[in-house]
Amino acid sequence: MQRITVIDRKDMSAEQARVYDAALAAKSVVGGPYYVYIRQPDLFEATQQLRATLGKGLTPRERQIVNLTIARHWNAEYPWAVQARASLAIGISRSVVDAINARQTPELPDPRERICYVVARDMLHDKGLSDAVYRDAEKTLGLEQLIALVATVGSFTMTCLTTATFQIAAPADIPVPLAP
């Protein structure tokens, strides 16, 4: 059961309505964790800006692999459902989604996608990166994109923890249910 009620647009304060309307106009996401963040309009706006900025650092496929890895790590149902749907929609194979869901290493022939998975997995599991993984990631991605990857892991972890803490319900049309 959701621990927080969704604020209808008509019930928002002037500042909440301003940032909400700006997000809608920009075609940004306003559901999931944003149901929580809207209660602090500055946080809502900052997370929207961070999401837009981080969206430029990795390819859509790389970002989806990272987000799936993070959602699986945190057992976050809402983000998992949304990311599984988005991943399949952009052509990530069901076998990759299923492997991550089963906490197995997916078959990723692209070296950038593979290192994105490894970095996300290791940061979450080991709370950092070994020197070897760091060197491989910097060589494969470049320093600027490695920075974007690390920031994405932190940002999407916040999303997962927010939706889990406030028990934001997953959409009904989950293409790949989160494994127990």
Distance (Å, rounded) from C-alpha 39 to C-alpha 15?
Answer: 10
- Which residue bears the tokens 């920031």? 151
Residue limits of CATH 1.20.1290.10 in the chain: 60-165
Task: Provide the pLDDT confidence category of residue 66 given band limits of 50, 70 and 90.
Answer: very high
Instruction: Give the CB-side neighbour count of residue 20, counting CA atoms within 13 A.
Output: 21
Single-letter amino acid code for the residue at 129: L
Distance (Å, rounded) from C-alpha 91 to C-alpha 93?
Answer: 6
Task: Provide the pLDDT confidence category of residue 159 given band limits of 50, 70 and 90.
Answer: very high
Cβ partners under 8 Å of residue 25, min gap 6: none
Give pTM, 2 decimals. 0.91
For residues 23-50, average pLDDT: 89
Task: Provide the pLDDT confidence category of residue 102 given band limits of 50, 70 and 90.
Answer: very high
Q: Does domain 60-165 have CATH number 1.20.1290.10?
A: yes
Q: Of 53-57, 83-87, 116-120, 149-153, which gets the smallest average pLDDT? A: 53-57
